[in-house]
């Protein structure tokens, strides 16, 4: 099975970073969040990736074309012999396909543009290039196959963006640092999709989250896999700092799932 990652958006809500690089290349612990997402799938044996490029996509191309240079702990240059020697290098047995899907293409259009790479598979994974979670990918895929849907979405309860104060008769009883926003479930990404979904996407101007998902739901062809564990998007500088703090603490939960 392949994992498709949407990595073409502009990331306007984190413009301090995305003005100079695509959002999936914003780093957590010195590595792009895109690489963190790929590691989530690789832990479950999914090592073929199709990455949908758009805004500043050349920077993602450059990163993978010079992957040894980016990941080596030491690089020695012999300028006379015009050669490079790498020290310890972290390598991965992955296959990565980078596909230009247009600068202004909507999410559904980006998915449709990579059809030829996945249409002969029985199913493929899909997620966004700006969020991490400790989703049990094996259980997600099993859920998808068991229910026979055209699409399965992982549902999550969004984390609160601000701390909260609990009151009792006008007195503060406690502070809650990261309360859940409410009990409503939202789209957490981490989809499993049948190639049949391509028939639900009209073209470049189609947002995956609107008409395609709404039609699939109306037809009873969209199942939900409820994830109750860690999930965190990176939409703001504050959220990037949260992920950095988790990484620095040695407790990055997105790389410490059920496996």
Q: Is 164 within the bounds of a domain?
A: no
> CB–CB of 56/98 below 8 Å?
no
CA-based end-to-end distance of the chain: 18
d(CA 160, CA 33): 21
Q: Is 168 within the bounds of a domain?
A: no
Q: Is the pLDDT of residue 35 over 90?
A: yes
Q: Is 163 within the bounds of a domain?
A: no
- Which residues fall within 8 angstroms of residue 173, CB to CB, at 6 or more apart? 166, 167
d(CA 84, CA 15): 36
Per-residue pLDDT of 83-136, as tens digits, reads 988 888 888 999 999 999 999 999 999 999 999 999 999 999 999 999 999 999
Q: Is 122 within the bounds of a domain?
A: yes
What range defines the domain where residue 35 resides? 2-157+187-255
Helix, strand, coil percentages in the chain from 3-state DSSP, rounded to 5? 35, 25, 40
pLDDT of residue 12: 74
The model's pTM is 0.89
d(CA 159, CA 194): 29
Q: Is the pLDDT of residue 237 over 70?
A: yes
| CA angle 64–74–56, rounded 5-degree value | 25
pLDDT of residue 178: 58
pLDDT of residue 65: 94
Q: Is 170 within the bounds of a domain?
A: no
Q: What is the CATH number of the domain that holds 76?
A: 3.90.550.10
Per-residue pLDDT of 119-133, as tens digits, reads 999 999 999 999 999
Give percent above pLDDT 90 in the chain.
74
**For the stretch 111-150, what's the b/e string if a residue is b when 16 or more beta carbons lie within 10 angstroms of its beta carbon?**
bbbbeeebeeeebbbbbbbbbbbbbbbeebbebbeeeebb
> CB–CB of 197/110 below 8 Å?
no
Q: Is the pLDDT of residue 239 over 60?
A: yes
Q: Is 62 within the bounds of a domain?
A: yes
Domain count across the chain: 1
pLDDT of residue 31: 94
Q: Is 148 within the bounds of a domain?
A: yes
- Which residues fall within 8 angstroms of residue 69, CB to CB, at 6 or more apart? 75, 84, 86
Which burial class, exposed, middle or buried, applies to 155 when counting CB atoms under 10 A from its CB (0-12, 13-18, 19+)?
middle
pLDDT of residue 162: 52
Per-residue pLDDT of 46-78, as tens digits, reads 999 999 999 999 999 999 999 988 888 899 999
pLDDT of residue 258: 55
When the pLDDT of each residue in the chain is averaged and rounded to a whole number, the result is 89
Q: Is 211 within the bounds of a domain?
A: yes
Give percent above pLDDT 70 in the chain.
90
pLDDT of residue 79: 93
């Amino acid at each position: 099975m392949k994992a498709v990652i949407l990595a073409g958006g502009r990331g306007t809500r984190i413009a301090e970073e995305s003005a100079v690089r695509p959002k999936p290349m914003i780093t957590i612990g010195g590595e792009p969040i895109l690489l963190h997402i790929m590691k989530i799938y690789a832990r479950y044996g999914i090592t073929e990736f199709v990455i949908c490029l758009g805004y500043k996509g050349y920077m993602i191309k450059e990163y993978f074309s010079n992957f040894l240079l980016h990941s080596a702990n030491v690089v020695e240059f012999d300028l006379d012999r015009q050669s490079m020697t790498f020290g310890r290098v972290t390598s991965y047995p992955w296959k990565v396909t980078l596909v230009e899907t247009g600068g202004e293409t909507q999410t559904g259009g980006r998915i449709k543009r990579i059809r030829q790479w996945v249409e002969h598979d029985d199913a493929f994974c899909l997620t966004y290039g700006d969020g991490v979670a400790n989703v049990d990918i094996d259980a997600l895929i099993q859920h998808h196959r068991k229910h026979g849907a055209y699409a399965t979405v992982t549902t999550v309860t969004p984390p609160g963006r601000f701390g909260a104060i609990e009151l009792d008769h006008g007195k503060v009883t406690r502070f809650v640092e990261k309360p859940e926003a409410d009990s409503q479930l939202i789209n957490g990404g981490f989809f499993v999709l049948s190639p049949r979904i391509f028939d639900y996407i009209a073209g470049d101007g189609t947002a995956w989250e609107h008409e395609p998902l709404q039609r699939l739901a109306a037809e009873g062809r969209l199942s939900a896999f409820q994830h109750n564990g860690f999930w965190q998007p990176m939409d703001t500088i504050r959220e990037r700092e949260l992920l950095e703090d988790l990484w620095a603490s040695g407790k990055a939960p997105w790389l410490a799932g059920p496996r």
